[in-house]
Chains A and B, each alone.
Chain A
Amino acid sequence: MTETNTSALEPSGDPVRVGVYVCHCGGNISDVIDTKAVAAALAAHPNVAVSNDYMFMCSDPGQALIIDDIKANHINRVVVAACSPTLHEITFRKALQRAGLNPYLFEYVNIREQASWVHKGDHEGATRKAVRLVAAGVEKVVRQDELFPIKVGVEPHVVVVGGGVAGMSAAVALAGRGLGVTLVEKGVALGGRVADLDRVYPTEERGADLVQDLTRQVEGHSRIDVRLGSEVVGLDGHVGKFAVTVRTSSAAPDDQDHLVRAGAVVIATGFDHYKPAQGEHGFGESPAVVTLPDFQAALRQCPASRRGLQVNGRPARSVAFIHCVGSRQIDGVHAPQADGKVNDYCSRTCCTATLHTIRQVQSRFPDVDVYDLHKDIRTYGRGHEAYYEDASRAGALFFRFPDEEPPTFAASTGGEYAGTVTTRDILTWGEELEIPVDLVVLATGMVPRDIASLIDLRKLPVGADRFLQEVHPKLRPVETGVAGILLAGACQGPMDINEACTAAQTAAVKAAILLANPTIELDPFVAVVDGERCDGCGKCLAECEYVGALTMADVEQAGATVRHAVVNPAMCVGCGACAAVCSPRAINVAGWTLDQFDAMVDAIIAEDVGALAHTECRAGVRHIEFAVISGGN
């Protein structure tokens, strides 16, 4: 059971002294908002001791202003009015900590997204709004409890879902770091999609060799437990202490489910090849139209002989490759996918894969005529451009079709060739061309796999492209919105082998960081129950969506046994649904109490910051600290 140490602080002799800092954000805010006027208006607040503006509060000298004021001017509450708290809340909390102040005696007011950016044309209005928002921040921070992070003991073990190159790569990296790994693979063997590949660009290694290399490392590691033919069917708990249920359907009925306790989870479920719709460039209507993966398989099996390239038992003397099939689709031009949307993303790998395949055709069957029909050639990677150049040198003809006019294929009956591809070519000033072909190869892109059951276990974030979504596409590319759940490889978006392995090793390092110490610290913004006020009605329990976060328990209080709401702080997400239904106001989210909200609303509707009441020294403010959570879930 978790203990909460809640105590009212001794009213200290020090009055509440708030420091207010208004950031210019290098013009992002100050071009619209009069930051000096905001700082001046807040200086009139009875609890504000210092109020300043500065070019970049997040910079070292900006942070130094706060630290100096805490130390020299006895500031004991801080409000920063700046950009989004997702960017810098932690920056400033750390600054408070370095100055010796409790890092939660801090309020971040977003006057960029919530004022300067949305009121660009109204400088005065934006400035007035910023004053009210900052005043509300001041009112909130004077009522702020002294909080301490929740400490969670960690399991030094990671569950990796998916046994392709990304999953194996992550597993090997984690095991090398000394962590235990359970590698869960749905199929009967490790290797994933790469096992299907003959040669890979640009190293010309064999896909099978790459898979074998990784498989050997996985199987040679005593710390990796491989579970083939298995799926994750339960994902409870939280960062540091997940409880993952792995189901192996082939096992005996009473031995199918295996509970794994893990500190982090890496998802490496990969991708599916796009399957063209019936009739898309003639697919499904003629045996002469195949996908790139199918063609690669056929090419692998085609014996070297004087009869030339044979696909499905038919000669292929002239082959057209069509790019962007299932990728870079356009509303109104392409038929929507099952979710009603088109695949508007680039699949990244198909350009080089296509040209790599063209080079194989050219070197093995130099007599085959090769046509490449594209929108853009995206051979962006290291060593990729050479395939484009070599293909062109070896005689492949390149045509560029307009976005809105994809090429079409018509089978011929009794003609010399299997059919004709018709396309408009931008490179020859929009001329319409007819290309006689024996075979059309569709460079199909990547689509997300159907992992809805895994997504539903934890409401994992999914992007508009239906791939799993990272927290920040620039700065935090492998973390999801659920702490401790990480992404590796093409489950997140199209990637090639190199990119998937890079992402996997980065996911591994993020897991290694989370599990580097015996405990993890979590933010303390969770529900806290006031035992004196709770009447045990249980309304809060009915509202709580998070299993295990809130329970009713009998507790000893003043010699009597009473029924109370009890919070598990590691499971509570601080949503506040419980607080909203508690009529005696016995349950509150730490750092976001109802008293704080009341005061913020009063400040926002007040006409004059100077007229707001002075709040006496730390009245009612508490010290809230939780015991380390170490027991099982």
Chain B
Amino acid sequence: MAASTQQLKADVLVVGAGIAGLQASLDLADQGKSVVLVERKPSIGGTMINLSKVFPTLDCASCITTPRMASVAHHANIDLFTLSEVDGIEKAEGRFRATITKRPRYIEEDRCIGCKRCEEACTVFLEDDFDHGLGAKKAISIPFTNAIPQYPVLDAENCLLCGACAKVCPTQCINFLQEPKQVEVDAGAVILATGFELTPIDAKPQYGRGGFPNVLSPLQMERLLAPHGPYGGVMRPSDGQTPSSIAYVQCAGSRDKSLGVPYCSRVCCMYAIKQAMLLSGSLPIADITIYYMDIRAFGKGYEQFYQNARAMGVEFVKAKVARISEDEGHNPILRIERQEAGTGPEEVRHDLVVLSLGMVPAWKPSQGGLIAVEADTDGFLKSPGMKLSPALTTMDGVFAAGTATGPKDIVDAITDAGAAAMAATNYLARTQPAPARHLP
């Protein structure tokens, strides 16, 4: 290992800084435990910070996520590493040794003041991953408005090395030659909050394999609905028209053995209902239809939320969508059979369609790397103590939080994170008798 390798010791290593990883870190740090939190992306906040509003409270997601993000970033007991990958965690003599690679942002973080002048000066436009391809970003840019930390990242693959950014930087912090840095962490316990990805939009040939411009993923719709979204409103990507008829295809990535996702993804019914409500607000004359198998509004206040959506005029049609095609005007056409009407198969045209995609694990043990815990048949981490000890994994001292152990919504991920933090705390009490660091 290079001499410049940073060495750190912590009570707990938390992998993943989505809402579950953030909450687990806070629940440990607030007890006085020291935490190293590692996030692969350039900002913390996970999927939650990417959402418009959340069900069933309709709170603005940015407004309720940023306080948690800021609390983590400013916590004296939390060391945060973003744009960093955990290459591997080995267990030896009751401790966990992790090697972490901190990828280069190509800026000197200690000098950057987040002024965005580099971003303004850059002339290279790229697809914006935060807006899921609906907007553009510069080759050097801060990932999104309320990203934490507020440092730009230079996309080395697409940078023209023109030097425009370096010229305008008031603190000369741009460093085109920056190298990855190695960090070694020695921790007493590990929490895996590795999160989820959407089932791929191009997986299903019957739904056009992601080739129709007006068939969106639910996260694309979240961005369109967000107050600071790419278009400043809900428009069709193909022509910028305001849609007057929008449809949701439920179970587009779940309860479907052909996709290898036989399970229910738990959140899709509720996010579709929430988006339908938000659309009714922003496009009052639009017709919104949800094609579903079962509406699974099972959480606290969710059934009432569902009934409110029905009362607001959102149409719920019990039908499995067999196929999606489009006409020459890029209008999606759904082939369905209404189970309640019994009028046989029919084709329905909508202006915009959202596929209610499901959840698959963002990291699977079969991929290797990270740590040698076991997966269950659904690909998510195995929970050997599912009923009474939900945070356990197959390795002693390694705990799971959030969607690492299966689809969950925000409140379930937060509750899960608390349980993981409690389990890790008690594991430390049993195995690491040394006193914890106390709050100042």
Q: Which residues of A contact B (CB under 8 A)?
A: 25-28, 31, 55-56, 58-61, 63-64, 83, 87-88, 90-91, 94, 98, 165, 169, 173, 176-178, 200, 202-203, 205, 210, 213-214, 328, 344-346, 348, 376-382, 384-386, 389, 400, 426-430, 465, 467, 472-475, 477-478, 492-493, 497-499, 501-503, 505-510, 512-513, 516-517
CB-CB nearest in chain B for A30: B227
Choice from A91, A502, A513 contacting B27 with Cβ under 8 Å: A513
Contacting residues of chain B (15-37) with chain A, CB-CB under 8 angstroms: 27, 30-32
Contacting residues of chain B (238-293) with chain A, CB-CB under 8 angstroms: 255, 262-264, 266
Chain B CB within 10 Å — which of A28, A61, A328, A507 has the most? A61
- When distances are taken between beta carbons in the complex, the residues of chain B under 8 Å from A348 are 298-299
Q: Would B430 and A176 count as touching, CB distance under 8 A? A: yes
Choice from B31, B228, B387 contacting A55 with Cβ under 8 Å: B228
State the total of A-B contacts with C-beta under 8 angstroms.
225
- When distances are taken between beta carbons in the complex, the residues of chain A under 8 Å from B303 are 328, 344-346
Say yes or no for B371: interface residue by CB 8 A criterion.
no
Q: Would B264 and A98 count as touching, CB distance under 8 A? A: no
Q: Would A178 and B429 count as touching, CB distance under 8 A? A: yes
Choice from A25, A94, A385, A509 contacting B255 with Cβ under 8 Å: A385
- When distances are taken between beta carbons in the complex, the residues of chain B under 8 Å from A176 are 425-426, 429-430
Distance A507 CA – B300 CA, assembled complex (angstroms): 17
Q: Would A429 and B63 count as touching, CB distance under 8 A? A: no
Known: A478-B418, A509-B425. A346 touches B298 (CB 8 A): yes
Distance A462 CA – B255 CA, assembled complex (angstroms): 36
Distance A191 CA – B438 CA, assembled complex (angstroms): 36
- When distances are taken between beta carbons in the complex, the residues of chain A under 8 Å from B419 are 501-503, 505-506, 509
Nearest CB on A from B55, distance (A): 9
Say yes or no for B414: interface residue by CB 8 A criterion.
yes
Known: A58-B66, A492-B300. A501 touches B414 (CB 8 A): no
Chain A CB within 10 Å — which of B294, B383, B387 has the most? B387
- When distances are taken between beta carbons in the complex, the residues of chain B under 8 Å from A25 are 60, 63, 227
Which of B94-102, B163-171, B187-195, B338-346 lies at the interface? B338-346
Choice from A165, A376, A508 contacting B295 with Cβ under 8 Å: A376
Q: Would A510 and B418 count as touching, CB distance under 8 A? A: yes
Question: Could you give 12 example pairs across A and B, Cβ below 8 Å?
Answer: A27-B228, A31-B227, A56-B66, A60-B73, A88-B67, A178-B429, A346-B297, A382-B406, A385-B262, A426-B318, A477-B411, A502-B416
Taking chain B's interface residues, is the majority helix, strand, or loop, or is none over half, making it mixed?
A: loop
Using C-beta atoms within 8 Å of the partner chain, give the interface range for chain B: 35 or more
Choice from A382, A427, A508 contacting B263 with Cβ under 8 Å: A382
Choice from A58, A389, A426, A478 contacting B63 with Cβ under 8 Å: A58
- When distances are taken between beta carbons in the complex, the residues of chain B under 8 Å from A382 are 263, 376, 378, 380, 383, 386, 405-406
Q: Would B63 and A344 count as touching, CB distance under 8 A? A: no
Distance A376 CA – B414 CA, assembled complex (angstroms): 27
- When distances are taken between beta carbons in the complex, the residues of chain B under 8 Å from A213 are 388
User: A90-B67, A508-B422 given. 15 additional CB < 8 A pairs?
Assistant: A25-B227, A58-B146, A60-B146, A63-B70, A213-B388, A426-B318, A429-B341, A475-B64, A498-B387, A499-B412, A502-B418, A505-B390, A506-B419, A509-B422, A512-B425
CB-CB nearest in chain B for A503: B415
- When distances are taken between beta carbons in the complex, the residues of chain B under 8 Å from A26 are 60, 62-63, 145-146, 226-228
Nearest CB on A from B401, distance (A): 10
- When distances are taken between beta carbons in the complex, the residues of chain A under 8 Å from B430 are 176
Q: Would B339 and A429 count as touching, CB distance under 8 A? A: yes
Distance A203 CA – B392 CA, assembled complex (angstroms): 15
CB-CB nearest in chain A for B65: A475
Q: Would B426 and A497 count as touching, CB distance under 8 A? A: no
Nearest CB on A from B425, distance (A): 6
Say yes or no for B135: interface residue by CB 8 A criterion.
no
Choice from A58, A386, A475 contacting B414 with Cβ under 8 Å: A475
Nearest CB on A from B355, distance (A): 19
Known: A60-B149, A346-B303, A379-B264. A505 touches B255 (CB 8 A): no
Known: A178-B429, A426-B340, A473-B411. A517 touches B438 (CB 8 A): yes
CB-CB nearest in chain A for B114: A61
Distance A177 CA – B415 CA, assembled complex (angstroms): 18
CB-CB nearest in chain B for A31: B227
Say yes or no for B296: interface residue by CB 8 A criterion.
yes
Q: Would A376 and B27 count as touching, CB distance under 8 A? A: no
Say yes or no for B391: interface residue by CB 8 A criterion.
yes
Q: Would B67 and A505 count as touching, CB distance under 8 A? A: no
Nearest CB on A from B433, distance (A): 11
Distance A182 CA – B191 CA, assembled complex (angstroms): 29
The 10 tightest CB contacts between A and B, nearest first, are A506-B418, A429-B342, A27-B227, A505-B419, A176-B426, A376-B294, A509-B422, A59-B146, A346-B303, A26-B227
Known: A173-B426, A517-B438. A58 touches B70 (CB 8 A): yes
Nearest CB on B from A524, distance (A): 19
Known: A376-B295, A430-B340. A83 touches B54 (CB 8 A): no
Distance A382 CA – B387 CA, assembled complex (angstroms): 11
Say yes or no for B348: interface residue by CB 8 A criterion.
no
Nearest CB on A from B130, distance (A): 13
Q: Would B66 and A473 count as touching, CB distance under 8 A? A: no
Q: Would B415 and A478 count as touching, CB distance under 8 A? A: yes
Q: Would A210 and B70 count as touching, CB distance under 8 A? A: no
Say yes or no for B56: interface residue by CB 8 A criterion.
yes
Choice from B32, B67, B416 contacting A87 with Cβ under 8 Å: B67
- When distances are taken between beta carbons in the complex, the residues of chain A under 8 Å from B66 are 56, 58-59, 91
Choice from B146, B410, B422, B426 contacting A56 with Cβ under 8 Å: B146
Q: Would A169 and B388 count as touching, CB distance under 8 A? A: yes
Say yes or no for B439: interface residue by CB 8 A criterion.
yes
Choice from B145, B340, B387 contacting A200 with Cβ under 8 Å: B387
Q: Would A474 and B415 count as touching, CB distance under 8 A? A: no
- When distances are taken between beta carbons in the complex, the residues of chain B under 8 Å from A64 are 114
Nearest CB on B from A496, distance (A): 9
